[in-house]
Amino acid sequence: MSLPIPVFLNEPDKVVFWTWNELTWFLGILMFMWLMASFLLGLVLSITVVKVLRMLQKSALGDLTRIGPYWFLPSAKSFKTLPPSDIREFLG
């Protein structure tokens, strides 16, 4: 009788120890640095980037890799000014 392994619904898919996002960053930086400079430099840099990526994703403020672009990158929908909070009329 085999018991199912409990998995949370919001847990990302993993490849051995890494998520697909971390694996993509690791292999991309490793291959780029291997072609441009050296394998050892690419290995060190890609491991560092994955550690920083994990640190940003498990921050006390939440996943900063998703929250950061929302707050700091410009969006196409920007208001010229916001009305004062006591005015409740919206003109369309």
Question: For the segment 38-50, what is each residue's pLDDT rounded down to a tens digit?
Answer: 999 999 999 999 9
DSSP state of 33: H
φ, ψ (nearest 5 deg) of residue 19:
-80, 170
Per-residue confidence (pLDDT) for residue 61, from 0 to 100: 84
pLDDT at 73: 79
| CB-neighbour burial class of residue 34 (10 A; exposed 0-12, middle 13-18, buried 19+) | middle
Strand partners, 19: 14
What is the reported pTM?
Answer: 0.64
